[in-house]
Structure 1
Amino acid sequence: MMRNILVVPGLAILLSACINLAPDYVRPAAPVPAVWSQSSKQGTVQDGADAIAWHRFFMDPRLREVIELTLANNRDLRVAVLNIERARGQYQIQDAARYPALGAAADSSVRRMPASQGASDDAAIARSQSVQLGFNAYELDFFGRLKNLSAAALATYQFNVETRRSIQISLVAEVASAWLTLAADNERLLLARDTLKSLQISYDLSQRSHAIGATSGLDLSTAQASVEAAQVDLGDFSSRVQRDLNALNLLAGAGVPMHLLPDAIPQASAALLATPAELSSELLLGRPDVLAAEQTLMAANADIGAARAAFFPSITLTAAGGAASSSLAGLFKPGSGAWSFLPSINIPIFNAGRNRASLDVAKVNKEIEIANYEKAIQIAFREVADALAERATLDQRLGAQQRLVEASDKSYRLSEARYRSGIDSYLNSLVAERSWYGARQNLITLRLLEQNNRINLYKAMGGGWSSS
C-alpha cells in the first residue's frame, strides 16, 4: 500500500502542465535603423567590444589596478551580486511549488472516555499510534499556472544577472572616467601653479619698475589683477582635485593608494575601438541592459499565462499512506496499513471580475515592458551614435587645438619680449598670456574628452564585463 501511495506524485507530475496558456514569446523588432551611418577612423582593436576584456582595453597599469580594487570593494556591485542570490532563492521557492512536497508524520494519542459516554459502565482508555508518508494540497498544473509563475521567477533571476553585468560595465567606465578626470584636474592644477609663479615674477618686476618710475600704475594694477586671478584658479583646481579624489574613493569602495593616482592624462589610457563603415545595430541586443529589459518582458509574458489559468478549475491532491495501530508494538504488524486520498477541485464561478481584471493588468504590464524594451534599445542606439559622432571630429579638434596652443605660446613670448623692450604695454602681454593659458586649459579638456570618448564607445557597445 505504501508503494501505491508513493506512485501518486509521479503520476500527478506526468498529468500536470498539459496546457500552457501564455502567449508565444516573440522578440519585438528593434525600433532603430539597421546600421549606424556615422563611423570613425579604424582603431587598433578589431574585436567586438563585448569580446574585449577590460584589462586588455585599458592600457595604463595603474588604472587597471584601480578597476580591480573597485570590482572587489564597490558596494553597488556587491548589492547587485546579493540581488542575484536572492532572486535565485525566490525562483527555487516558486519552482518547488510545481512538485509535490513529501513529508512524514508520526502521531500518538491517548484519550479517556468517561463511563457516561462509553458502551460500558466503566471509563475507557483509547490509544492510537500512526506513521504516515504523503503530500498535502498538491496542485495539478493542467493549465500551466505554476509553470508560468516559475518561468516569471526565472526571468526575474536572469534580469538580476544581466543587471549585475550592466552595473559592472557602467562601473568600469565610471571609475576610468573618474580616474582620468582626476588626472586632468591635476594637470590643470599644475598649469595654474606654473602660471601663478610666472605672473608673480612679472608682478614683482612691475613693482620694482614702478618704484623707479619705469612702469605706470595701470600696468602695476593689471599685473596684480592677473596674480589674483591666478590665485583664484589655483584654489579652484585644488578643490577640484580633492573632490575628484573623494569621488574616486567612493567608486572604489576603499581608499585608492597614492601610487595609483595619476598626475596627468596618459597619452593612451584606453584602446580605440575599430568602427567599420557599416556597423550593425544588432550589436545592441547583446548589451546587458537590453537583455535585462527583455527578461522583464518575458516575465510579463509568462504572467499572462498565469492570469489566464485562473479562469479554469484547479485540482489539488492530498494523499498519505502508512500504518496505524492502537499500540506501538502492533504498529508495523500485518494488517496495520492505512491510507487516505483527498482530491479537491475549485471551480471559479463568480469573483466580481477579479480574474478578468488580473488578466487585463497582466496584458497592460506586457505592453509597458515592450515599450521599456524598445526604449532600452533606443537609448543604447543613441549612446553609440553620440559616441561615434563625437569620435568623428575629435582628431581634427585636437590637432587644431594643439596648433592653437603653439601659436598662442609664440604670441605670448613675442608680446612679453616687446613689453620688456618697452615697445608694448603690459596689457598686450597680459592678453597674450591669458590666451595662451586658456588654450592650454582647453587642450587638457579636449584630451580628457578624447579619452572619455574611447571609454564611452566601449561601454555603449557592451564592453567592460569580461576580465579574462
Structure 2
Amino acid sequence: MKNVFWELLKTSVFRSNFFRLFFVLFFAWGPLQGIFAQEKLVLTVDEAVKCALETHIDIQRSAIKLEQSKREYGHSWNKVLPAVSVTGSAAEKQGWKDSESDTVSVSVGGTASLSLDAGLSDAIKALKSTYEAGKISFDDTVRSTETAVRKSFYRLLYLKQSLETSRSTLDSYQKQYDQTKNKFSRGVVPELDLLTAQVNLETARPDVDSALASFNNGLHEFLDTIGIEPGTEVELSGSLDDADLVLPADYSLLDDCIEKSASIKKLEQDLKTARYTKSAKFNSLFFPSLNVSASVNPEIYTYDRKAESGTETPDWSVSVGISLPIDSWIPGSSSRDAVASLDDTIKDYEVQLEDLKKTVRTSTAQKLDDIALSQKTLEARRMNVELAKKSYAMTEEAYQRGTKDLLTLQTSLDKLRSAELQLRSEQYNLLSNVLELENTLSVPSGTFMKKEN
C-alpha cells in the first residue's frame, strides 16, 4: 500500500491535486475551528428569566408543596371512606386431657368501620384553603424569582459598563502617556508631567483588573441562579437605557395596593385556614361523634375428626354508636389548651395582617417617591455627561496646544468617567425600584414600562 502511494505521488496529476487539497485544508482550518467551536450564548433578560423559571430551586420546591396540598385537597373525600379489612384463618384444636376432642375450624370474613365527627366539614374546608394559599405562594415565588433575575441582569450590565469605563480610562491614560512622552522628548513639558502620566497609567491597570473580577464574580453567581453551567461563554444582550421606558410615577396605585398584594392575599388565606382548623378541632373535641361498624363472616366451618361431622355457623353484625368526649369540658384539659392555642394562632395572623397592610402601603409610597426622584435625577445626570464631554474635548484640545497642563486634563477625564458611571448607576437604581414596585403590587414585569413599537 505504501509503495502504491509513492508511485501515485510521482505522477504530476496526483501530486498537483494532493498539494492543492493540502493548502485548501491548511487555510480553511481556522474557519473550520470557528465552526466546530462552541458558540457563545447570547442572553437577553427575558431568556434569563425563562431559564431561571425552569431550573430555580425555590420554584421547584414551591411546586412540590403545591402539588402536595392539591393532592390532599383533591383526596379529601377519603375522610368519609370506611376502614375495610378482610380476614381468613384456619385452626386445629385438640384437648390436653380429653383425647376425644379433635376439631379443625376454618373462617373467612370482613369488617368495616367508619367514624364521623362534627369537625369533618371544616377540616375539608381547611384543606381547600391550604391549597388556595399554596397557589398564591407559588405564583409569588415565581414573581419574586423573576424580579431577582431581572435585577441581577441589570446589575451585570452596570458592572459591564463599569468595566468598559475602566478600560476606556486606561486607553485614555495610555494615550496621554504617549503624548506626554513625545512632548518630553521634544522638551515641551517637564519630567514631572511624564512621571504623572506614567503614575496615572499604572494606577489605571489594577482598576481594570478589579472591575473585571467584579463582573466575572457577578456573572458566575448569575449563571448559577438561572441554571446555566458555570464556565459557559455568555454575551449579555440588553441595555440600561431601558430606564428611558419607565412610566412616570402614578400615585393612584396607593388606592388599591393592598388589594393587589400577593403577600396580603397569602396571609389572608392562612388566616382563613387557621379559622377552619380551629373550628374543626373544637367541633371534634366538644361535640359527639358517630361510629359505625359492621362485620360479616360468610364462612365459619368446624369439623370434628372423632365424630366425623362438621358444622357451619356463618354470621354478621352491625353496630352504631355515639361517643361524647367528657374530658374536653374539664377546665385546663389538653383539649381546651389545644383549642386555645389555635385561637392564639388566629390572633397572631390578624396582628400580622394589619401590620402587613401598613407595610405594603408604606413600601408602595416609598417606591413611587424613589421612582419620581430617580427620573428627575436622570435628567440631571444626562446633562452632566454632555457637559463633561464638552469640557474634556475642550481641555484635550487646549492641552495639545500647550495652554492646559496634564493635571487639568486628568481632572477633566476623571469628571467625564464619573459622570458616565453616575448616569448608569441612576439608570440601574430606577430599574431596580420599578421591579421592586411590580413585585410589591404583584403585577407582571413591564407593567410600568412603555410598550416599544
The answer, yes or no, to whether TM exceeds 0.5 is: yes
Q: How far 1:321 sits from its partner (Å)?
A: 3.4
In structure 2, what is the equivalent of residue 141 of structure 1? 117
Q: How much has 1:274 moved relative to structure 2?
A: 7.2
How far has the Cα of 1:194 moved from its partner? Answer: 1.4
The 3-state SS of whatever aligns with 2:97 is helix
Cα pair 1:273 1:454 within 8 Å, conserved: no
Tell me what 2:48 maps to: 66
Q: In structure 2, what residue type is equivalent to 1:261?
A: L
Alpha-carbon distance between aligned partners in 2 of 1:446 and 1:274, rounded to the nearest angstrom: 15
Q: Secondary structure at the match of 2:286?
A: coil
> What residue number does 2:319 align with?
341
The partner residue of 2:438 within 458, 463, 466 is: 458
TM-score (ref. length: structure 2): 0.77
Partners of 1:255 and 1:378 lie apart in 2 by 42
Percent identity of equivalent pairs: 18
Q: What's the CA shift for 1:360?
A: 1.8
The residue aligned with 1:244 is 218
Query: For residues 245 and 397 of structure 2, what CA distance do their matches in structure 1 show?
Result: 43
Calculate the aligned-residue CA RMSD, in Å. Answer: 3.2
- Counterpart in 2 of 1:99? 80
Distance in 2 (alpha carbons) for counterparts of 1:271 and 1:163: 30
Partner of 1:373: 353
Match of 1:326 in 2: 301
Partner of 1:396: 376
SS where residue 242 of structure 2 aligns? coil
1:277-316 → structure 2 map (5 Å cutoff): 278-309=252-283, 310-316=285-291
Any residues of structure 2 matched to 1:206-217 within 5 Å, and which?
A: 206-217=180-191
Q: Any idea what the Cα deviations from partners look like across 1:90-138, whole Å, max 9, x if unmatched?
A: 4456x35630325241322223041636xxx612314132322x422x3
Unaligned runs of 5+ in 2: 1-41, 304-310, 447-453
Matches within 5 A, 1:13-412: 62-91=44-73, 95-96=76-77, 98-114=79-95, 116=97, 122-132=100-110, 134-136=111-113, 138-142=114-118, 144=119, 146-255=120-229, 258=233, 261-262=236-237, 265-268=239-242, 272=246, 276=250, 278-309=252-283, 310-326=285-301, 336-341=314-319, 343=321, 345-349=323-327, 350=330, 352-412=332-392
- The 8 Å contact of residues 293 and 369 in structure 1, kept in 2 or not, is answered as yes
Cα distance in 2 between the residues matched to 1:129 and 1:195: 96
Give distance in 2, aligned partners of 1:253 and 1:198.
38
- For structure 1, the residue ranges without an aligned partner over 5 or more in a row are 1-59
> In structure 2, what is the Cα distance between the partners aligned to 1:280 and 1:423?
58
Give the C-alpha shift of residue 303 in structure 1: 2.6
Is the 2:109–2:295 contact (alpha carbons within 8 Å) kept by the matching residues of 1? no
Q: Which has the higher helix share?
A: 2
SS in 2 for 1:463: coil
Give the direction of change, closer, same or farther, for the CA distance of 1:176–1:275 in structure 2 (3 Å limit). Answer: same
Which one-letter code corresponds to 2:319 in the other structure?
F
In structure 2, the CA distance between the partners of 1:218 and 1:259, relative to structure 1 (3 Å rule), is same
Distance 1:230 1:301 in 2: 64
Distance apart, 1:212 and its partner CA: 4.7
Distance apart, 1:155 and its partner CA: 2.5
2:262 and 2:441 in contact (8 A); partners too: no
Contact 2:301 2:312 in 1 (8 A): no
Which is higher, the Rg of structure 1 or of structure 2?
2
Q: Distance in 1 between matches of 2:142 and 2:382?
A: 35
Secondary structure (helix, strand or coil) at the match of 1:116 reads: coil
Q: Is the CA contact 1:168–1:465 (under 8 Å) kept in the aligned structure 2?
A: no
Q: How many residues align?
A: 395
Deviation of 1:313 after TM superposition, in Å, equals 4.1
The answer as to whether partners of 1:325 and 1:336 remain within 8 angstroms in 2 is yes
Is the partner of 1:464 in helix, strand or coil?
Answer: coil
Select the residue among 422, 425, 434 that pairs with 1:445.
425
Matched to 1:135, the amino acid is: A
